[in-house]
Amino acid sequence: MRKSIIIGILCFLAGSQVKAQFSLSGELRPRTEYNHGYGTLAAEDQKPSIFTSQRTRLNFDYKMDLLKFGIVLQDVRVWGNQVQSVSNEDFAVSIHQAWAEMNLGKSLTLRVGRQELAYDDQRILGSVGWSQQGRSHDVAVFKYTKKLNVHFGIAHHENTNRKNNFYDGPDAYKDLQFVWINRKTDQFNLSFLFLNNGKPVMVGTEQKSKYSQTFGTHVEVPVDKVAFSGNLYFQTGEDGANKSLNAYNLMAEATYKISDKTQWNLGYEILSGSDYNQTMKNNSFAPLYGTNHKYNGFMDYFYVGNHLNNVGLSNGYVKFVTSKNKTAFNADLHFFASSAKISATADNYLGTELDLSLARTLSPATKITFGYSQMFGSESLEILKGGSAGTMNNWAYIMIAVTPKFIQ
């Protein structure tokens, strides 16, 4: 079945190529990782692990006057998790994106299908590009584009069980609606986001949707060599455990550009949390569908499939970026603490993380990146994560990204 789809796409592209409205590109991204404390503290007797994951993509894009059409075919694997002689190729390739964007009138379009949602700094809605699989949604998005940009998205999920409006599928929500309003000038970039998130939960023998609302603003203001940015989001409604939700996220950052190739970033972020003895309400902010890897340290101790409905996080950080010729160097330092009480006696300080990376562009279509990170954890982090803060908790990787453009 998948082979037929691919052959059909290639035939369609061959007929469209002469109009110069079609582009075809690819991506091959293997990444080898060394892990001894990634995501959680390593135990004292834990041995390091080494593995290689790989993402392969084919990107098809077609444009004409009133239509845009995009398909991204994707294969994600860990080296060694599939037999050498594959007997069933149906699981080898998936559709990461498949959408059409139609012109509905002056300044109004509709993009419908499976697509990435990436807005502002991707704190709430992001493509999660670091992870090999990424994130995409089955959603319809109406777009009004002028001086004021307005996007309205709506999704309703079902699966093979279509009786009694019952959803037992794998996704994080059954219903989703969002509105994004943006105004960008030379003096500022200001956005407002409202997201209504409906999760299916069982109440006795009946399924009901518990809705939470996330709303707030993102702002960017450049002033000479310094650029200021910030987020302020609130969450209300109910969580999946039927608790009332009252949480917030606050971020402030200043970027000082020394030159076109060198800059410093200084910032502080708070994600509210719930005290260890709080049982009636939920004050823990969840960044939902954002690209969390870019925010709270590259070792992904917080909010990458973990740390939800917990004590929250305070993150003070400083980042340095510089490049010369075809080489770029990044150094990030994070100081982590809980924003709520871990226990009656535990200190809020969780640890300090150092992230280093070095990237070298070998050609316009090839880049190689080396990274090393280390977590200097505390006893409080042991309480939350288990493992041992006294071990060498570190992580390293080497990643090759090959992104050829076959047809432009």
List, for residues 309-368, the tens digit of each pLDDT value.
999 999 999 999 999 999 999 999 999 999 999 999 999 999 999 999 999 999 999 999
Nearest CA-CA partner of 374 in 347, 392, 350, 398: 392
pLDDT at 239: 86
- Predicted confidence (pLDDT) per residue in 244-269, tens digit: 999 999 999 999 999 999 999 999 99
Contact residues for 363 (Cβ-Cβ < 8 A; gap 6+): none
CATH architecture designation of domain 104-398: Beta Barrel (2.40)
Task: Tell me how far apart the alpha carbons of residues 348 and 335 are, in angstroms, rounded to a whole number.
Answer: 11
Confidence bin at 180 (pLDDT 50/70/90) = very high
273 close to 338: Cβ distance less than 8 angstroms:
yes
Asked whether residue 18 carries a pLDDT value surpassing 50, the answer given is no
Nearest CA-CA partner of 98 in 114, 82, 85: 114
Residue-by-residue DSSP string for 95-106: EEEEEEEEEEET
What 8-state DSSP symbol labels residue 289? B
Asked whether residue 20 carries a pLDDT value surpassing 50, the answer given is no
3-state secondary structure (DSSP) of residue 266: strand
**Average pLDDT in the 218-225 region?**
95
Task: Tell me how far apart the alpha carbons of residues 237 and 252 are, in angstroms, rounded to a whole number.
Answer: 25
Structure tokens at 342: 């871990």
Instruction: Say which range, 11-20, 23-32, 90-99, 252-261, has the weakest mean pLDDT.
Output: 11-20
